[in-house]
Amino acid sequence: MIDKLELLLALSRERHFGRAAETCGISQPTLSSAVKSLEDQLGVLIVERGSRFRGFTPEGERVLDWARRIVSDARTMRQEIDGLKRGLTGTLTIGVIPTALPFVPDMTLPFMAKHTGLHLSIVSMSTNTILSGLDNLEIDIGVTYIGTDLVQRFQTVSLYAEHYALLVAPGHPLAERKDISWTEAGRLPLCLLTGDMQNRRIIDRHLYDAGIESPPMLESNSMTMLHVHVRSGLFATIAALGTGERFAAPMELVAIPIVAPAVTHEIGLVLKAREPHPPHVSAFLAMARKLTPPALA
């Protein structure tokens, strides 16, 4: 039964029989047969019938909810039993919004030093992709904004407050400024993250409140790409930085705090609201909670 539920979750992720079968290393007829077997066992139609995948029935959506719980519990049980024998092993996958990536080593470096048998996979994702990945058991932990309605159904742990600054090249005419307003920043040639990123939506909202509605000149889902263009001196970008020592510009760039108004947004860990957590998730959570505010800020 659990193997069939795993296949069902793969179908939910891929929304396509062929791709789901490929990710599971089986043939499409084998996947279709497993879904049909589940339907026979449960006495309900799980998938809308058609020549292509058309979605899940209402009953199928409820089966998916249970499949996520059951598969998650089964994985947790296996990991816990394996951990009793060999210590923590396997892979911990963390989805992180791009602006929070510089802060992740504060957590991952001490964690890896303590749990040498674990492999860490850190993936840059949008907030929506992180929440979807948690739901579909594709990632174990997310690092994203936690003060939004999106994460109310998840467990969260606060890490630091995100502040905003204008990043410019050292030779930029504004490089010596002590601060700048949102209105002034919005009138510059900007390069920003793409619109699917929560950070971009937050920045757009603050610019709109300041009377700025013009789009940026350049967009990218890569912070590195934005920084390269800022270093040219032709662009500026609006960056999310931490507090204290973390309120510093990336290498070779100047950070000018944005005020009028000065705003903050909370960043934290996001994970499934369930107990018990898988052992490697519990270990990471315990470590993160022990970190002092200065280390997180």
Same domain flag for 260 and 165: yes
As beta bridge partners, residue 270 has 142, 156
Indicate whether this model's pTM tops 0.85: no
Is the predicted pLDDT of residue 297 greater than 80, yes or no?
no
Let me know if residue 241 belongs to a domain.
Answer: yes
Write the pLDDT tens digit of every residue in 53-81: 888 899 988 888 888 888 877 877 776 67
Contact between 192 and 216 under an 8 Å Cβ cutoff? The reply is yes
Stretch 230-243: mean pLDDT, rounded? 91
Asked whether residue 48 is assigned to any structural domain, the reply reads: yes
CATH number for the domain spanning 72: value is 1.10.10.10
Query: Is-contact 162 264, C-beta < 8 A?
Result: yes
Is 29 within a domain?
Answer: yes
Q: Is residue 256 part of a domain?
A: yes
Give the span between the Cα atoms of 88 and 80, in whole angstroms: 8
Among residues 152, 154, 146, 136, which one has the least CA distance to residue 97?
Answer: 146
Does residue 102 have a cis peptide bond before it, meaning omega lies within 30 degrees of 0? no
**Residue 108 phi/psi, 5° resolution?**
-70, -35
SS3 at position 154: strand
Contact 88, 117 (CB under 8 A): yes
Please check whether residues 167 and 82 belong to one and the same domain: no
Query: Is the separation of the CB atoms in 153 and 142 below 8 Å?
Result: no
* Residue 246 neighbours by CB distance under 10 Å: 17
Determine, yes or no, domain membership for 127. Answer: no
Tell me if 179 is assigned to some domain: yes
Q: Is the pLDDT of residue 174 over 50?
A: yes
Where does a domain end: 86, 115, 135? 86
Q: How confident is the model at residue 245 (pLDDT cuts 50, 70, 90)?
A: low
- Sequence-distant (6+) residues with CB within 8 A of 165 are 238, 239, 241, 247, 249, 255, 256, 257, 258
User: What total of structural domains would you count in the chain?
Assistant: 2
Domain residue limits at 168: 161-264
- pLDDT confidence tier of residue 92, bands split at 50, 70 and 90: very high
For the chain, what is the mean pLDDT? 87
pLDDT band at 294 (very low <50, low <70, confident <90, very high): very low
Q: Does residue 102 lie within any of the structural domains?
A: no
What's the distance, Cα to Cα, between the start and end of the chain in Å?
Answer: 46
What CATH number did the domain enclosing 222 receive?
Answer: 3.40.190.290
CA 125 to mean position of chain CA atoms: 5
Residue 52 CA to residue 54 CA, distance in Å, equals: 6
Within a domain: 150 = no
Per-residue pLDDT tens digits for 35-49: 888 888 888 999 887
Residues 6+ apart with CB under 8 A from 79: 90, 278, 279, 280
